[in-house]
Amino acid sequence: MCSRPNYLRLGQILIHLDVATSKEIIEARLKQMRGESPKLIGKILIELGYIVEDDLNRALNLQKDLDMNL
């Protein structure tokens, strides 16, 4: 996790892109926190069927672009 306050988390971006809901993000994060999956949240969301690989790639690219501009 980045310590900069303006850093956008992947979940926030996926919600903004309207490809995932906050409930889905929370479910994936809880799965991760409980140790049910050691994977990154994007991969968990794909496994759960909430997003597809293209959604993840688009969000990650947007996150990278936004981070570079901060």
Residue 1 is predicted with a pLDDT of 45
- pTM for the predicted model, two decimal places: 0.83
| Over residues 19-43, mean pLDDT | 93
| 34-60 residue pLDDT tens | 998 888 999 999 999 999 999 999 999
What angle (nearest 5°) sits at the alpha carbon of residue 43, between those of residues 48 and 19? 65
